[in-house]
């Protein structure tokens, strides 16, 4: 009796690495599993930290964290990969942002540790292509750690109500951030996530909440401070403060419109 051989389809994606563009070389159907061939791969995020930050300096592109224990993924994009990934390697930043947004990927990294995560750079591409490419791979892989399958920051396209803002303010005031409880306690020099950055706006004065209109996506997002907005959008904080100082009306870089809240 002749044996029956069944060939299942599989999809392999091969990428051309280019600083100024992003493109798929070929998509070959071969099985029902989608395999990504990244342009850079780091099997141990903890051991490869220095290499990760140095090799991706000044580049924009897509990245994916993979939990080596359960196989779950997170896909993100950044206008400056080194700046974005530097935040990931700050434990105090992860804890603070997880309290604010209940982030699945931040919580997972804190639980399992960097040594149980691999990091892959899916591709480099132009800044204006980031959201489109990110959406493509999120739709393709359906990563478990992404809070929303919509691209962009966790709060992109959402605006807090006045009642929610009051509750957020009250909850922050109730936190005991004195001494060792402060997320920045003991972090000095290069260990500090603020190393090399501008001083916090207002030097101790209350932060200014702002809303950001993204003309490209027609979405509006409210941030608790200019610094938080700059971090989420991967922009220099000075670009936002200068926008207000100069009473600019035109969108920053033809894309973002900043407005003070309250």
How far apart CA 21 and CA 60 sit, in angstroms, is 10
The single-letter DSSP state of residue 142 is -
Per-residue pLDDT, 16: 38
Q: Which residues contact 33 (CB under 8 A, 6 or more apart)?
A: 10, 11
How much is the pLDDT for 41?
95
Dist. CA 87–CA 130, nearest whole Å: 19
Crossing angle for the helix pair 226-233 and 237-245, to the nearest 10 degrees? 130
What does the DSSP 8-state code read for residue 147? S
Question: Is 67 in contact with 73 (CB distance < 8 Å)?
Answer: yes
Q: In sequence order, what are the residues at sequence separation of 6 or more whose Cβ sits closer than 8 angstroms to the Cβ of residue 215?
A: 251, 254, 255, 256, 257
**Cα 126 to Cα 72: distance, rounded to the nearest angstrom:** 27
Please enumerate, as own/partner, the contacts of 30-36 that have beta carbons within 8 Å and a separation of 24 or more. 32/8, 34/10, 34/140, 34/141, 35/10, 35/11, 36/64, 36/120, 36/122, 36/137, 36/141
Helix axes 91-101, 81-88, angle to 10 degrees: 90
Cα 73 from Cα 65, distance rounded (Å): 6
Rounded mean pLDDT for each run of 10 residues along the chain, 262 residues in total: 42 39 38 68 95 94 96 94 92 88 92 96 93 90 80 47 60 55 56 53 64 86 85 85 88 89 76
The rounded Cα 152 to chain-centroid distance in angstroms is 8
| Joined tokens for residue 35 | 């395999």
252 three-state secondary structure: strand
Is 22 exposed, middle or buried (CB count within 10 Å of its CB: 0-12, 13-18, 19+)?
buried
- Strand partners for 118: 66
Q: Which domains does the chain have, with CATH numbers?
A: 11-141 (3.40.1440.10), 207-262 (1.10.10)
């Amino acid at each position: 009796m002749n044996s029956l051989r069944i060939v299942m389809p599989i999809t392999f994606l091969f990428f051309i690495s280019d600083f100024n563009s992003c493109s798929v070389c070929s998509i070959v159907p071969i099985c029902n599993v989608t395999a990504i061939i990244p342009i850079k791969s780091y099997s141990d995020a903890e051991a490869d930290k220095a290499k990760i930050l140095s090799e991706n300096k000044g580049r924009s592109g897509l990245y994916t964290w993979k939990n080596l224990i359960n196989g779950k993924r997170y896909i993100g994009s950044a206008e400056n990969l080194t700046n974005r990934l530097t935040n990931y390697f700050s434990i105090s930043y992860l804890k603070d942002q997880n309290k604010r947004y209940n982030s699945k990927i931040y919580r997972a990294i804190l639980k399992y540790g960097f040594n149980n995560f691999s990091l892959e750079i899916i591709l480099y591409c132009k800044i204006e292509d980031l959201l489109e490419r990110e959406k493509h791979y999120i739709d393709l892989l359906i990563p478990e750690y992404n809070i929303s399958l919509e691209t962009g920051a966790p709060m992109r396209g959402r605006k807090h109500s006045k009642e929610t803002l009051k509750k957020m303010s009250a909850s922050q005031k109730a936190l005991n951030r004195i001494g060792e409880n402060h997320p920045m306690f003991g972090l000095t020099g290069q260990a500090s996530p603020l190393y090399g950055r501008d001083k916090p706006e207002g030097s101790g004065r209350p932060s200014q909440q702002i809303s950001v209109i993204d003309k490209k996506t027609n979405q509006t997002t409210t941030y608790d401070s200019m610094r938080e907005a700059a971090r989420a959008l991967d922009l220099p904080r000075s670009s936002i403060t200068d926008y207000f100082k100069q009473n600019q009306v035109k969108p920053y870089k033809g894309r973002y419109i900043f407005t003070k809240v309250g």
